[in-house]
Amino acid sequence: MTKKVLVLPGDGIGPEIIAQATKVLDYLNASLSLGLEFTRALVGGASIDEAGVPLTDQTLDLAKQSDAILLGAVGGTKWDTLDMAIRPEKGLLGLRSGLELFANLRPAILYPQLAEASSLRPEIVAGLDILIVRELTGGIYFGQPRGIQPLEDGSREGFNTYRYSESEIRRIGRIAFESARKRNNQVCSVDKANVLEVTVLWREVMDQLAPEYPDVTLSHMYVDNAAMQLVKAPKQFDVIVTGNMFGDILSDEAAMLTGSIGMLPSASLNSSGQGMYEPCHGSAPDIAGQDLANPLATILSAAMMLRYSLQQEEAAQRIEKAVSKVLDQGYRTADIVGSGDITKVGTNAMGDAVLAALKSA
Ligand code: IPM
Ligand code: MG
């Protein structure tokens, strides 16, 4: 049976890193007869330049008809002065909300080979394996009303609304509890329940769910403390579940624990298992087109895609092993160079190294 994959390279380093991931996918598709059918489209700034909007109806329709979407990155200084409503980022947010991809899984795993690349001491991060479950289609990112409006005194005010319904909290909570069952059975729910009512409700709903998962231990933490604990003692965490904005911030922080945000993949899923897969990092316009970007987060996102939306666990594991092997072999892009016996490579050579590791396995 064929499965449809929509490839959206996007902007900045997007096309370069996507090229490495598709190299790997093309090889596995042929050698393991996975039956994947790829289509490509534009999103973000690339789509603005071509069609005037960051996400066209056609691309959204294509995405809806796909089993999975592999996305590079969106955005860049070129489009930063545009009106908020048609910025490249809106393309990404439109895909997330249009497909109801409410569950964002961001694993932060420290590869032992990269312990030195972390800014924290090796004993603090060695063996780190955290899963951040971020709510992705609600909260302050999407809450209405929002805007910038004039005040009576002639100045202006900006406002956004932070809201979550019980059902939105419950469905992301379930994803967290179920994910914890496949890991170390601990969920830490992160909120700001000492100040924000919306997160008082968040905490209540998490507590209501807990008895359904007696094998999982639920704890709660305020977001400011969580930010601190992540750098103080990150290994205390197994699964962290939180809202859209806190998840955005904490996942960047967790990424740095692992040495580089260039290593972090992500999956965004809806309730039918359809998913969008993208690296956690942005489009890095400053290094775009220079063969400098680390393609591993995108390659690892392709592995997550094979696992979660395409039911190809074996292929997913083969990619993950190949990535670990190239790190063993000492290949490093600029963001993860440490000292010692390493070979500094560019984007393309890193993709080739992963491909070679796959072929030799
Ligand atoms: C992320 C990014 C996006 C977000 C931006 C590009 C809209 O930072 O995926 O973490 O804020 O969600
Ligand atoms: Mg972010």
Residue 101 contacts residue 66 (beta carbons within 8 Å): no
Closest Cα to residue 208, out of 185, 174, 180? Answer: 174
**What's the gap in Å between 248 CA and the centre of ligand 1?**
6
What DSSP designation does 183 have?
T
Residue 110 contacts residue 257 (beta carbons within 8 Å): yes
Closest Cα to residue 357, out of 117, 70, 28? Answer: 28
What pLDDT band is residue 246 in, cutting at 50, 70 and 90? very high
Rounded to 10 degrees, what is the CA torsion of 229, 187, 241, 282? 60
User: Long-range pairs for 344-350 at CB < 8 Å and ≥24 separation?
Assistant: 346/291, 346/292, 347/13, 347/16, 347/17, 347/20, 347/291, 347/292, 347/293, 347/294, 347/295, 348/16, 348/19, 348/20, 348/291, 350/20, 350/294, 350/295, 350/296, 350/326
What DSSP designation does 288 have?
T
What structural domains does the chain harbor? 1-106+264-361 (3.40.718.10), 129-257 (3.40.718.10)
CA dist., res. 95 & res. 198, Å (int): 25
pLDDT tens for residues 284-315? 999 999 999 999 999 999 999 999 999 999 99
- State how far Cα 193 lies from the chain centre: 25
pLDDT at residue 10 greater than cutoff 80:
yes
Which protein residues have a CB closer than 5 Å to ligand 2 (ion)?
Answer: 248
Average pLDDT over residues 241-253: 96
Which ligand 1 atom is at minimum distance from the Cα of 245? 11
Q: What is the pLDDT of residue 30?
A: 97
Residue 257 Cβ inside 6 Å of ligand 1? The answer reads no
Cite the active site residues.
141, 192, 224, 248, 252
Average pLDDT over residues 225-254: 97
What is the pTM assigned to this prediction? Answer: 0.94
Which ligand 1 atom is at minimum distance from the Cα of 96? 12
pLDDT tens for residues 157-170? 999 999 999 999 99
Residue identifier of the C-alpha nearest atom 6 of ligand 1: 89
269's tokens: 């899923």
User: Which helix (H) or strand (E) segment is 332 a member of?
Assistant: strand 331-332
Residue 136 Cβ inside 6 Å of ligand 1? The answer reads no
